[in-house]
Structures are given as structure tokens and as C-alpha cells.
Structure 1
Amino acid sequence: TKRLLTLMECEARTGRKVSTWRKAIARREIPFVRIGRSVRIPQEFIDDLVVKGWREPVQPV
């Protein structure tokens, strides 16, 4: 089964504020699941976001 994260969990994992996640959801920029009034984001999406944004440090020449 796929794990779904709360917006607070997304904030803790990425450093992006909950309000930023809410705006992205309102603009339909990211995948999400609505369960009643609460919103969840697939953990797989967050993990991919972190991996794609990862940058190795630049070595001095």
C-alpha cells in the first residue's frame, strides 16, 4: 500500500510551509488525495521531489 502524508509531515520532510503545499494543491500542481476534509500527499511524490532536488556539493578546483 502507498503511504499518504499529512501536510505537516510534508513540511517536516521538505522544509516547505503548509501554506505552500495548500497553494500547490489549490493550483493542482501536485498529486493529492482528499479524505473527507483532510488532504494527503503520496509519500512517493515527496521522496521523488527530494531526490530530484538533491545536489552534490561542488568540489573546489
Structure 2
Amino acid sequence: MDRLLTVQQAADVLGTTVRFPRRLIEERRITFVKVGRHVRIPQSAVDEYIAEHTVQPVTLRPAAFGRAA
């Protein structure tokens, strides 16, 4: 079973305030579990969200730097 995080714990992992994960939940942009009136976010959902929104750096060829306009 995947570890379930509170909204505060998810915010800590994402490096944001509690408001951001709550907005993700409200907009249904992240998987969450309702436990009674409490909301929990699976650790794998947070990891998946981070992986999907990671931007890779652009690599430029060295020849592009040597030319003058």
C-alpha cells in the first residue's frame, strides 16, 4: 500500500504552501483519497506530479555560440 500524505505533508514535499495542493485537489489535477472528511494524497501521486511537470534543460550546440550576427 502506498503511503498517504496529509495536505500539509504534500505541500512540504512540493515546497509550497497548503493552498497549492488544495487547489490541485479542487481542480482534480492530482489523485487523492477521501477518508471520512479528511483528504489524503498518495505519495506516488505527488511523485508522479513532480515527474510530469519537470522541465528538462535545453542543450545548445557549441557552434551556435561562436557566430556573430
TM-score (ref. length: structure 2): 0.67
Other-structure match for 1:44:
44
Q: Is the 8 A contact 2:11 2:20 kept in 1?
A: no
1:16 equivalent in structure 2: 16
Aligned residue pair count: 60
Q: Find the structure with the greater CA-based Rg.
A: 2
TM-score normalised by length of structure 1: 0.73
Q: Deviations over 1:24-47 (max 9, x none)?
A: 111111110011111011101112
Structure 1 segment 20-35 matched on structure 2, within 5 A: 20-35=20-35
> Unpaired segments of 5 or more residues in structure 2?
63-69
Which amino acid is the alignment partner of residue 2 of structure 1? D
How many angstroms does 1:55 deviate by? 5.0
Amino-acid identity (%): 34
**Structure 1 segments of 4+ aligned residues over 6 angstroms from their partners:** none
CA RMSD for the aligned pairs?
A: 2.1
